[in-house]
Amino acid sequence: MTVLRRLRPPIVGALYALNAFCAFHLFLNYVGSIQLVSGPSMLPTMAEEGEAVIENRLSFRLNPGGLNRGDLVTFESPLAPGRFVCKRLLGLPGDIICVDPTGSKAPSSEHVVVPKGHIWLMGDNAVLSRDSRDYGPVPLSLVRGTLWARVYPFNRVTVFRNPTTFLLH
């Protein structure tokens, strides 16, 4: 009996630690997290490196139809599975999109209709961005969430979108 009494506090402590780990894991994967930004494709909106942003995953999970043109969307790259990237949403299902308004990757007269269940994404720095102009419309199944705010560096804190408007649409 005394052995059980001595083992009980460590087991209870281990269970609390396991619960905390599981809650943290669920929060990061289903609600949101802080991510570091790297790469030139979103210049000048975001720096090439050294910035941290809050990724909102919950709103997209609760309302996948709540995406709007202009949102900063995070998704798994169709070209590099397992790599997550961020681009600006330019076209929703049914939209007619100019494939490349810059003319650097396709004739500027070429247009495409975004199919159902897909979106059209493009980096703000079109010259240095691999985006829908390279891999076409992105399936909604690859979307992970949206960027809510830049939180670091502190002198560049920016709210990209009011999170409550995402839930109301």
What is the set of active-site residues?
41, 87
Residue whose C-alpha is closest to residue 34's, from 18, 54, 7, 17: 54
Distances (CA, A) of 118 to 41, 54, 63, 138, 143: 21, 24, 15, 5, 10
Residue 91 structure tokens: 């076209």
